[in-house]
A and B are shown apart, each in its own frame.
Chain A
Amino acid sequence: MSRVEFMQGNTACAEGALAAGCRFFGGYPITPSTEIAETMARRLPKVGGVFISMEDELASIAAVIGAAWTGARAMTATSGPGFSLMMENIGYAAMTETPCVIVNVQRGGPSTGQPTRAAQGDMLQCRFGSHGDYSTIALTPNSVQEMFDLTVKAFNLADRFRVPTFLMSDEVVGHMRERVTIPDSVEVVPRRPLAEGSLPYEAGDDGVPGFAPFGSGRSVHVTGLTHNERGYPDTTDPAAHDRLVRRLVTKVESARRDIADYEVTNPDAETVFVTYGPPSRTVEQVMRDRQDDSIGHLRLKVVWPFPEFALSEFPNAKVFLMPELNMGQMVREVQRHVDQPVIPIPKIGGELHTPAELVRVLEAHR
């Protein structure tokens, strides 16, 4: 028996985390993500979990990584400026293969920008924001229901691939209120335990090492330095660095088909919208209004690792149109995978595209 509720996106995110078994939240208040922390503060102690308001975002993600090493499912939530502060420790989580979930309810930037307005301006930062080479997973909900569902999915992907995983939401989805179906239980994919006799950073065929939580007696040394399979620093051997970093990138990138999650509408269409997050809602409105099979829609629920094969679901496509709440961040990623023209429809300032704005561009390119 599932239950149906009417709730805010940020609340649904917290509920999704709790359903997925999240038992640690470390955070720092920032608009427009704060309701996630507030909900966790109220709910976590009642399920035996820990909520802690840390002194800043650097401390928040650090505490989350520390908690994750005890075996707990752990999460933090923030917005642009806080996300920027977290970057060094996000790189640490990637290097040490610490599973954790970071929710970014995006707002207008740069700098403090527009705290109460929506944006999708951190899409490249969540992929490339920390120094060095690594790969991450990022999910983009477009509804309150997906705030719940994709938060659950984020925990499962984080644990399966031992990688920091991002829920790249925004002010619109975070603050809107909608009907949500909350199931009694959700699928939980746990971390694979470190096999007896295996070294702590010895990866199997899928590139993901087993996990030995603190206190399990395996004496794991975890360091952000380049390390060998034993976990010991090995910072000057070019081969050791190449082996480690190549594996960190490959374990995610080679699983992109497996991780991908997207919706295809009208695959025979010649004019195709590509969206992620709430601009998809405007595209859906346009398609409802026009009842036109010549318009296609690719809606991404996972943007990183980028599922370029999804674009070939539209074999007749002559042009791709990309409404984004930024100056054109993901449009570059699409452009490098297709021969057809890719038309950016950037919008900044905090409001969604109107249907009329999209129709204008649509008419100009068909």
Chain B
Amino acid sequence: MIAPDWFREDRLPHIYCTGCGNGTVLNCTLAAVEEMGWKRNETAFISGIGCSSRAPGYILADSLHTTHGRALAFATGVKMARPDLNVVVFTGDGDLAAIGGNHFIHACRRNVDMTVVCMNNQIYGMTGGQGSPTTPPGAFSTTTPYGSSEPAFDLAELAVAAGANYVARWTSYHVKELTKAITTGMQTPGFAFIEVRTQCPTNFGRHNKLRRVPDMIEYLRSHAMLVSKYDRLAREGAGVPEGTFSVGELVRRRRPVMGAKQ
């Protein structure tokens, strides 16, 4: 699907586990970059720490693989100093919403012109499957052995509330929709946030009766509901089935932007 000239073939073999959804997200993001017609010398990829954050290392472009949670702060420096560069950030739920939560809301508030793709597998994958701020209530992980007792963050809603100009959510099942959403995010001036619910059979699935990759992808597909229907059900007071989440475009607006191309 993607042109091989964006791929660092000398980095193979990659470190992702069998069945990981991150490759799909990477593929969709690069397809969006291709669609935009961006060049290598005008695009920078930035990430924090975690499985998601290894993605820039496989892309043939300038890239910063930074410290845990801080990717958006590094990216803000890059974009504000060189507004002509296209900035794409890869992050994960732990990286973005736990340690990086403060940077996340402030990057949304500033509406810095960048595209942020969050691979939300609802677990700390790289450290071996500990509960994260998006681990669903009741879900099992190595640090929630009796089922998670905390409510989970809705990252897309958080981005909308904090002021991002473009917010969408899809899953690793919805590759065409996801690619289109990332492209639209790249076209929209300001902070574009695309949350991708993605499968982690190795560290999430095996504790939660979703060990097989097709089972996890089917779970994501069957629990995703188009945002228009989701909102209509909520409006009518009908409610949505347990574990269902909205997908689609949550917001596209024109708030003032920082670091836009002159």
Q: Which of B62, B67, B77, B102 contacts A56 (CB 8 A)?
A: B102
Instruction: Say whether A240 faces chain B, with CB atoms less than 8 Å apart.
Output: no
Residues on A with C-beta less than 8 A from B73 are 54-55, 58-60, 62-63, 66
Instruction: Say whether A221 faces chain B, with CB atoms less than 8 Å apart.
Output: yes
Take A214-B62, A224-B67 as given contacts and tell me if A65 and B40 are in contact as well, using a CB distance cutoff of 8 Å. Answer: no
Chain B interface secondary structure, helix, strand, loop or mixed? helix
Residues on A with C-beta less than 8 A from B56 are 221
Take A219-B61, A224-B67 as given contacts and tell me if A63 and B77 are in contact as well, using a CB distance cutoff of 8 Å. Answer: yes
Q: Is the CB of B65 within 8 A of A224?
A: yes
Q: Which of A23, A63, A222 contacts B76 (CB 8 A)?
A: A63
Separation of A74 and B103 alpha carbons in the complex (Å): 20
- Which residues of A in the span 210-252 have a Cβ within 8 Å of any Cβ on B? 214-225, 230, 232-233
Q: Is the CB of B74 within 8 A of A216?
A: no
Q: Which of A23, A50, A92 contacts B67 (CB 8 A)?
A: A92
Residues on A with C-beta less than 8 A from B65 are 221-225, 233
Separation of A10 and B11 alpha carbons in the complex (Å): 47
Q: Which of A67, A92, A216, A217 contacts B77 (CB 8 A)?
A: A67
Separation of A314 and B8 alpha carbons in the complex (Å): 57
Interface contact tally, CB-CB below 8 A: 125
Question: Most chain-B CB neighbours within 10 Å: which of A63, A88, A218, A233?
Answer: A63
Instruction: Say whether B82 faces chain A, with CB atoms less than 8 Å apart.
Output: yes
Residues on B with C-beta less than 8 A from A30 are none
Partner-binding segment picked from B41-49, B199-207, B227-235, B242-250: B41-49
Q: Is the CB of A52 within 8 A of B67?
A: no
Instruction: Say whether B84 faces chain A, with CB atoms less than 8 Å apart.
Output: yes
- Which residues of A in the span 43-77 have a Cβ within 8 Å of any Cβ on B? 50, 52, 54-56, 58-60, 62-72, 74
Number of interface residues of B (CB under 8 A): 34
Residues on A with C-beta less than 8 A from B79 are 66
Question: Most chain-B CB neighbours within 10 Å: which of A23, A65, A70?
Answer: A70
| 10 A–B pairs (Cβ distance < 8 Å), ordered by A | A62-B76, A67-B78, A67-B81, A68-B77, A215-B84, A216-B41, A221-B57, A224-B66, A224-B67, A232-B10
The 10 A-B residue pairs whose C-beta atoms are closest, nearest first, are: A66-B77, A63-B77, A62-B73, A217-B41, A67-B81, A59-B73, A223-B65, A70-B82, A66-B74, A67-B77
Which residues of A approach B to under 8 Å, CB–CB?
Answer: 23-24, 26, 50, 52, 54-56, 58-60, 62-72, 74, 88-89, 92, 214-225, 230, 232-233
